[in-house]
Structure 1
Amino acid sequence: MTSPLQQKLKINGSSVVTANRTWDGIVVYRTAAKGWSADLADAAIVRNSDEAKALLAEAVADDVGAIGPYIAPVQVDEAGKILPGNLREQIRRDGVTIDLPV
């Protein structure tokens, strides 16, 4: 399997680095302060391949705080609110999209 750092990255718009926290599996996002946050609003936004590679490289090096980092698309609305850029990321952030039986 090819390392995420060796893959050719194509960034179309705003993106973030996301992973899962090691001790509880919660979805986390890489911050500009080189940490992790469970709040998408705290995520560092990248807009080109070079920025994405640099943010991903530092996230991969921090394998104690989170596991499986990768680049994920986001949308930034006019008010500056960051939203998941696709259904997969929406499900990771919010949970399942159907009502589960009780």
Structure 2
Amino acid sequence: MTSPLEQKKIKISGPSIVTANRTWDGAVIYRTAGQGWSNELGDAAIVRTNDDARALLAESVADDLGAVGAYVAPVAITEGGRIEPGNLREQIRRSGVTIGLPVSIGLPVQV
């Protein structure tokens, strides 16, 4: 992942997308192939090379219409073609802080 200020550090090793937050409500949004933004991860433009990631990020930053803090993030593509966040940070960012944890993590349960 990278921020616009660190574009030189873009190194992707798998499918990635450009994501940001919408300025008027803070919602997580994704850059589409049609040079727009969507709040649906499935609409995101997938990039697989550093050059494509740089180009999509530069386009997103130059756009500056309703998005702030654009950066490149990894995604996973299921066998059925569904796009999922590629790491825990993006899962939390997309779904909020309520995520399922393994039951047997060894922590005491407080009631």
- Tell me the TM-score normalized by structure 2: 0.82
The AA in structure 1 aligned to 2:63 is D
Shift of 1:98: 5.4
Q: Does 1:4 align with 2:6?
A: yes
Alignment match, 2:56: 55
Paired amino acid for 1:45:
I
CA RMSD, aligned part only? Answer: 1.5
**Secondary structure at 1:4's aligned position in 2?**
helix
How many residues are paired up? 97
CA distances 1:37-72 after superposition (whole Å, capped 9, x unpaired):
000000000001000000000000111220000000
Q: For residues 43 and 96 of structure 1, what CA distance do their matches in structure 2 show?
A: 22
User: After the TM superposition, which residues 1-102 of structure 1 pair with which residues of structure 2 at under 5 Å, given as runs?
Assistant: 3-5=5-7, 7-97=8-98
Indicate if the aligned counterparts of 1:4 and 1:70 stay in contact, CA closer than 8 A: no
List 4+ stretches of structure 1 deviating above 2 A. Answer: none
Larger helix fraction of residues: 2
Structure 1 residue matching 2:52: 3-state secondary structure: helix
Structure 2 regions of 5+ residues with no counterpart? Answer: 101-111
Alignment TM-score, normalising by the size of structure 1? 0.89
Q: Aligned partner of 2:50: which letter?
A: S
Identity across matched positions, percent: 66
Instruction: Report the residue type matching 1:59 in the other structure.
Output: S
Give 1:8 deviation, angstroms.
2.4
1:10 is displaced (CA, Å) by 0.7
Say if 2:28 and 2:39, in contact at 8 Å, map to a contact too.
yes
SS at match of 1:92: helix
